[in-house]
Every structure is written in C-alpha cells, then in structure tokens.
Amino acid sequence: MAYNWGTATTGARAKVLAAIDTVTNVGATYDYERFADDWTTLLTLYQVTIGGVDQLRGWTIALQGTESEMIGFGLSGTEVEQVTYRVKVRGLLRVNDASESQKTFEALILAVKAALETSTALHDNDLSKGASGRWAMDPVQMPLIDMRVFGTVLCHYGELDLRIVEVI
C-alpha cells in the first residue's frame, strides 16, 4: 500500500499546508514541527512583517498517528484500505496587549479552521456531495487556545486536530 501522507505535492501534508496558506496574513507556515532554543533561531523561523509591523506568527503541521481498516476489494482484486491520519496543526502569535493580539489570534485560528474545513483538496471523497476522489475529512476540532512561552517570548498558542481519511 502506498500511503500519501508525505508525498511532496499531492499528499495530505501538502494539502493541509496549502489550505493554511490561503489564509490572509497567516504568518510563517511549515509542513513539520520547528523548534528553536534561542532567540535568533526563533526570529528566523517565525518573524514576519504584516502591516509594516514585525511579529512572531506561525503554524506547523505534525502527524500524530494513523488508524487503518480494510474496507473491501478493488476491481483488480486488491484490498482497499481506509487510512485515517490524525494531524495536529499548531499556531502561535506573539502577545501584544496594546494591539489586542488575543482577538487577532482568535480570528486567525478560526480562519485556519475554516480554510481546512472548506479545502476541496481535502474533501474530494465526500460521497454525500457526489465526489469520488481519495480524500475526506472530519470537522476540525480546536481543543486548545492558551498562552505559552517560546524561548523567552509570551505567545498566544492554539491547536487544531484534524482527522483526514484516505482510501488507498
């Protein structure tokens, strides 16, 4: 079986990144988790300029696990597998109380959630809508919005949980 999670441009990881990148002023986006243990690296990874203001703003994608089941046989007699990828999208935005950054982050994470839920690339197998492709996705869950310290910087932090189904 060929799993299509990490395929460069057509896999689920690429489709998630493409959906996030459709959000205006989303910030730096990465299709894997990035880590920084010093200020310079943190700036290199997450500093963006939006509206003429430098800020830390970014998103990462990580595969958390899979679930699989055999759902039948294809026309050639080969088994057909349904794989569910459990995916975590993490976002951050540097706290700036004077500019009401909490409201900005809440709007941003809801925009990312909406972009993922409406991405046709992740929903071409929604049989209720007459599609017959390879991908389907459950509604995106938002289990956490919080504040965390990255390096020495207080940031708004949020997580989105995705369950992406692929039929292979």
CATH, range 12-167: 3.30.70.1700
Q: Rounded to an integer, what distance in angstroms lies between the CA atom of residue 6 and that of residue 128?
A: 27
For 1-94, list the strands marked E by DSSP: 28-29, 47-50, 53-73, 79-94
For 105-152, list the strands marked E by DSSP: 135-137, 141-150
* Chain segment 29-38, per-residue pLDDT in tens: 999 998 877 7
Digit-by-digit pLDDT tens for the chain (168 residues) are 567 777 767 788 898 999 999 999 999 999 999 887 778 888 889 999 999 999 999 999 999 999 988 877 766 667 777 888 899 999 999 999 999 999 999 999 999 999 999 887 777 655 444 444 566 778 899 999 999 998 788 999 999 999 988 877
pLDDT, the chain, mean = 86
Predicted structure pTM score:
0.86
Whose tokens are 């009401």? That residue is: 100
Provide the pLDDT for residue 125: 57
Where are the domains positioned within the chain?
12-167
Whose tokens are 């109380």? That residue is: 97
* Chain segment 126-162, per-residue pLDDT in tens: 544 444 456 677 889 999 999 999 878 899 999 999 9
Provide the pLDDT for residue 88: 97
Whose tokens are 């809440």? That residue is: 106
